[in-house]
Amino acid sequence: MIDPSESVIRFENVGLRYGLGPEVLRDVSFSIAPGSFQYVTGPSGAGKTSLLRLLFLSLRPTRGILQIFGQDAATIRRDKVQSTRRRIGIVFQDFRLLEHLTTFENVALPLRVLGTEESSYRRDVSELLDWVGLGEKMWVYPQVLSGGEKQRAAIARALITRPEILLADEPTGNVDPPLARRLLRLFIELNRLGTSVVIATHDLGLMDQYDARRLILEAGHLAIHD
Amino acid sequence: MTEIRSAFAVRIRSIRIPLRRGQARAPGEREPELPRRPMQPNPIVPPRTVARRALLALVAIMSFLACLSVAAVSIVSERAYDWRNQIAEEVTIQVKPASDGDTDALVARAVDVALQVPGIRSAVPISEADAAKLLEPWLGRDFDRSELPVPRLIAVRIAPGADIAALSRRLHEEVPNASLDDHSLWMKRLSSMANVMMMLGLAILLLVMVATALCVVFATRGAMAGSRDVIEVLHFIGAEDSYVAREYQRHFLVLGLKGAGIGGALAAGSFLATGLVARFQGSTPEEAQLRTLFGSLIVGPPGYLGALATVLVTAGIIAVTARWTVTRTLKELEHSSG
Ligand SMILES: Nc1ncnc2c1ncn2[C@@H]1O[C@H](COP(=O)(O)OP(=O)(O)O)[C@@H](O)[C@H]1O
Ligand SMILES: [Mg+2]
């Protein structure tokens, strides 16, 4: 178990640039406590997605210190990257469901790639699918799912391994307000079960519904509203 | 672990979030038909893309051609070997007609001398009648043999390593009108021709193999161009690189075995067909001719083994290329950082 005083993620003066371009993030410092709930917000192009990509090691900082579960992102051993990633659940803005797999198979994928037997996770997956309201869509392919259903399938896939931290990139960007509210409740419930939640969003209405810490990005700089 | 897991499940079940649950149905109304689970779990690597079907066809064609060239080279080398052996086992003694007319005595003496030399298996004079038959195509049936000083021939079969030089020397010394034709000039020509054909065959084989390998490598990479998204998802949900590489390698190995197997099977089928035609019994001259033609095209065991090896190597190249492409894609994903 994680020591509550220890942070899951720590940024210290992190800077990020793509190639030779300008710095997208500048001197970003913050940390994420276990079991915490926060929004990362800011206008489009402010660097929310880039920040999330740093969080799950898809990008490395150009400068500064980034620690994930106590490991330095700059020096983490290559054979440790994947096991670290498995402690993080990620919901992509564009879902990234595999078109040739059923909803069940997409959600079960993180377990399947570990070589786990289907019989050992079948119940967990169907329960999780029921929980996100996709029980009846278990055996259909992503092509026939609506945007909101894809969103929930992507969330379920991020949750199936019960990660210590969940990252969601604009999870309400493609859904109508009532569904957005329900998804938010789902994240809140998940947070109550002990998972740290980071939601990147530019939807002010969403943040007004549930008050939580806000990490506000503006022109690469970070301001924190606790 | 299972305890934690089931505790988690219980807690999940205890939360009732009314997300688009099934609508309440009137009593007696039938449940709508739900989609059924697929009979087999879908493979991780998406099957059936256009590029992969094209790859399958290309691999089948290329391996068919490669198998044919393997067979061609094996036929040529086998025939060249046979010719050399047959000719090397036989020499001919020529006895010019004696001026006193007793050519038969000279022939008998030559046979005696030949049989005394070690390594000579047999020495059989070709009868005048047989000799006449040999000449018939040139001289016609009713020529007067006494008008033409046709030399008499003795067919000598020799064991490998027989002392041909001694035979030649002794004939020269003891039988005045006899001379030895050891076919050495003919042998030399035939042998160099066979060598040239072998080299040519090997060169063609090499070119076909290289072309096949290149085609297969590029087509595999083409067929994998659309895989980046899948590889990316697998990577980001935490799959180990070795797992992703293994899945793709297996998928493409199966595809390669299928494609190359089809090509190889077609080739083997055509080898068998020529063999059958060659063995086909018929009495008309046309059929005999056909038999001779195809008989020289019979593919022996080396041809079949070569085809099998071609199939395996081709499938192997595909699998290795797929693995290499996956590994490179994964590396790119890790180094896409700013
Ligand atoms: N792969 C990339 N290469 C170069 N520049 C990028 C890349 N991804 C994002 N950017 C740039 O980084 C900035 C922040 O983008 P992003 O993190 O996507 O912002 P947000 O998610 O807040 O809209 C933008 O100016 C964008 O153009
Ligand atoms: Mg974004």
Residue B96 — pLDDT band, cuts 50, 70, 90? Answer: confident
Domain count, chain A: 1
Angle at the Cα of B228 from the Cα atoms of B222 and B232, rounded to 5 degrees: 165
Q: What 3-state class would DSSP assign to A10? A: strand
CA-wise closest residue to A169 among A65, A82, A73, A47: A47
Residue of B nearest to A23 (CA): B338
Q: Is B333 on the interface with A (CB under 8 A)?
A: yes
Provide the H-helix boundaries in chain B: 2-14, 50-88, 103-116, 128-139, 164-174, 184-223, 228-236, 241-279, 285-295, 301-334
Neighbouring C-beta atoms of residue B302, cutoff 10 Å? 15
Amino acid at B123: A
**pLDDT grade for B295, boundaries at 50, 70 and 90:** low
Question: Which of A112, A124, A185 minimises the CB distance to B5?
Answer: A124
Cβ–Cβ contact A86 with B under 8 A: yes
Domain that holds residue A185: 4-225
Q: Which residues have their alpha-adjacent CB atom under 5 A from ion ligand 2? A: A 49
Starting from the CA of residue A43, give the closest ligand: 1
B64 pLDDT more than 80 = yes
Domain ranges of chain B: 50-85+188-335, 97-176
CB proximity list for A116: less than 8 A, separation 6 or greater: none
3-state helix, strand, coil in chain A (%, to 5): 35, 25, 40
Give me the amino acid identity at B317. I
Entry pTM: 0.76
| Nearest alpha carbon, ligand 1 atom 24 | A45
How far is A149 from chain B, CA to nearest CA, in Å? 10
Say how far apart CA B18 and CA B5 lie, in whole Å.
Answer: 23
Q: Which residue in A60, A105, A118 is closest to B337 by CB distance?
A: A60
| pLDDT confidence band for B19 (50 / 70 / 90) | very low
Residue B31, pLDDT above cutoff 70: no
Ligand 1 atom closest to A42 (CA): 22
Q: How far apart are the first and last CA of chain B?
A: 38
Query: Residue A115 is part of a domain; what is its CATH number?
Result: 3.40.50.300
Which atom of ligand 1 is closest in space to residue B336's alpha carbon?
A: 1
Give, in degrees to the nearest 5, the angle at Cα B32 between B29 and B38. 155
- Taking contacts as CB-CB distances below 8 angstroms, the residues of chain A near B21 are 133
Whether residue B239 lies within 8 A of chain A, CB to CB, comes out as yes
Q: With beta carbons under 8 A apart, name residues in chain B contacting A82.
A: 235, 238-241
Tens-digit pLDDT profile for residues B232-284: 999 999 999 999 999 999 999 999 999 999 999 999 999 888 878 777 666 67
Which of B17, B235, B333 lies at the smallest CB-CB distance from A189? B17
Per-residue pLDDT at B47 exceeds 90: no
Contacts of B17 in chain A (CB under 8 A): 131-133, 182, 185-186, 189
- Does residue B327 have a pLDDT over 70? yes
Interface contact A62-B20, CB threshold 8 A: no
CA angle B33, B39, B43 (to 5 degrees): 120
| pLDDT for res B29 | 58
Q: Is B39 on the interface with A (CB under 8 A)?
A: no
Burial environment of residue A4 by CB neighbours within 10 A (0 to 12, 13 to 18, 19 or more) = exposed
Q: Which of A80-89, A112-121, A183-192, B282-291 has the lowest mean pLDDT?
A: B282-291
Q: What is the pLDDT of residue B3?
A: 43
Choose among A132, A147, A155: nearest CA to B17.
Answer: A132
